Amino acid sequence: MWSTPMSSGWFGRRARARSQDSVPDGIAQKCEGCDEIIFARELERNLKVCPKCGHHHRLSAKERLEITVDEGSFAEMDGDLLSVDPLGFPDYQEKLQKAQETTGLREAIITGEATLEGMPIVIGVADFGFMGGSMGSVYGEKVARSMERAAEKRRPIILFSASGGARMQEGLLALMQMAKTAAAVRRAADTKVPYISVLTSPTTGGVFASYASLGDVILAEPGAIVGFAGRRVGQQDAGVQLPANFQTSEFQHEHGFVDRIVSRKEMRRTLAFLLRFFVEGTQHGQ
């Protein structure tokens, strides 16, 4: 029931493109969780989860899609939307261009239609590698259009977040994407379209404080950084001892803002279960 179409394609390419790995490309790398050296092939076979400590390494949007939806079922929407530099912000255009070159993406989120265990869905996946997965005008627009598409086609929608928050370089227009996406979620809810929000590391700031916190069901990967202001940004009263799991998915789960912590291996199965619960015998997902 759970088969992963793990072609070497994206994973191989991405692994080589990653410049921040402490151990250079090739056959082995250091686990970000336990510092153990792990073989790249073993890591990839294990969905980039460390076989030793269970640390979930970051996935690119394309890798995420590949292990989530039915093979070959994904059809991108709005892939032609391109960010501009509305404020004339210092170095923004250069940063965009660099992000496009290193990720091979046009923006920090990919959205489209697909099937999951044969059930039609709308899906969006953010990519932290693209300017920290930050939400600017294009990102917000794609989320809003996805919501509208889901409502219009009566299909469940799944959004994977991996984002540091609003894109500073787009100033107020980035802030407004929070309102835009939240309003779009609210409107889609009127049509009873199921919305599953999946928080992956990191989901913080303006993304966590907008559409990502509004899912009918909210799932999170284990150990993911999930919070409002980053641990360093947040102001703490003197003498307050922060819990060890502060601003992680476990912390949010403990306080009631995440329904379940779901390991990567279990994610597809969990999503499929929820989809069946929401759509079976209804007009959704036809």
Partner 1 sequence: MASSFLDFERPIRELEALLDELRKPEKQAEARQQGIDLDAEIARLEAELRKAIEEVFARLTPWEQTLLSRHQERPYTFDYVRVMFDDFLELSGDRLADNDEAIVGGPAFLRGRPIMVIGHQKGRDLRERQRRNFGSARAEGYRKALRLARLAEKFDRPIISFVDTAAAAADLRAEEHGISEAIARNMAEFSALRVPIIAVVIGEGGSGGAIGVAVGDRVLMLEHAIYSVIPPEGCAAILWRDKSRAEEAAAALKLTAQDALELGVIEEVVPEPLGGAHRDLAVMASTLSDAILRHLREVEALSPDERLEERYRRFRRMGRWTVAPPVSPPSTESES
Burial class (CB in 10 A: 0-12, 13-18, 19+), 173: middle
Residue 89 is a binding residue for partner 1 (CB under 8 A)? yes
Distances (CA, A) of 13 to 5, 66, 130: 16, 13, 16
92 vs 278, which CB is nearer to partner 1?
Answer: 92
Asked if residue 121 lies in contact with residue 115, where contact means CB atoms within 8 angstroms, the answer is yes
Query: With contacts defined by CB under 8 A, how many residues of the chain interact with partner 1?
Result: 70
In the complex, what is the shortest distance from the CB of residue 46 to partner 1, in angstroms, rounded to a whole number?
A: 28
68 vs 213, which CB is nearer to partner 1?
Answer: 213
| Residue of 33, 51, 54, 86 that binds partner 1 (CB under 8 A) | 86
Per the omega criterion (within 30 degrees of 0), is the bond before 156 cis? no
Q: What is the per-residue binding string for partner 1 in 96-115, x denoting contact by CB under 8 A?
A: --------x-x-----xx--
Q: What is the per-residue binding string for partner 1 in 168-207, x denoting contact by CB under 8 A?
A: x-xxxxxxxxxxx-xxxxxx-----------------xx-
User: Which residues contact residue 281 at a Cβ distance below 8 angstroms, ignoring those fewer than 6 apart?
Assistant: none
Span between the terminal Cα atoms of the chain, in Å: 21
Residue 17 is a binding residue for partner 1 (CB under 8 A)? no
In the complex, what is the shortest distance from the CB of residue 255 to partner 1, in angstroms, rounded to a whole number?
A: 5
| Residue of 25, 84, 245, 286 that binds partner 1 (CB under 8 A) | 84
In the complex, what is the shortest distance from the CB of residue 53 to partner 1, in angstroms, rounded to a whole number?
A: 25
In the complex, what is the shortest distance from the CB of residue 10 to partner 1, in angstroms, rounded to a whole number?
A: 13
49 vs 178, which CB is nearer to partner 1?
Answer: 178
Task: Reduce the DSSP state of residue 157 to 3 states and report it.
Answer: strand
DSSP letter string over 57-70? Answer: ----HHHHHHHHSP
Q: Which helix (H) or strand (E) holds 153?
A: helix 137-153
Pairing label, strands 28-30, 119-126:
unpaired
DSSP letter string over 3-14? Answer: -----SHHHHHH
Asked if residue 67 lies in contact with residue 4, where contact means CB atoms within 8 angstroms, the answer is yes
Q: Interaction with partner 1 in 219-278: which residues (CB under 8 A)?
A: 227-229, 233-237, 240, 242-243, 246-247, 251, 255-257
- Contacts with partner 1 by CB under 8 A lie at 74-84, 86-87, 89-90, 104, 106, 112-113, 136-138, 140-141, 144, 166, 168, 170-180, 182-187, 205-206, 208-214, 227-229, 233-237, 240, 242-243, 246-247, 251, 255-257
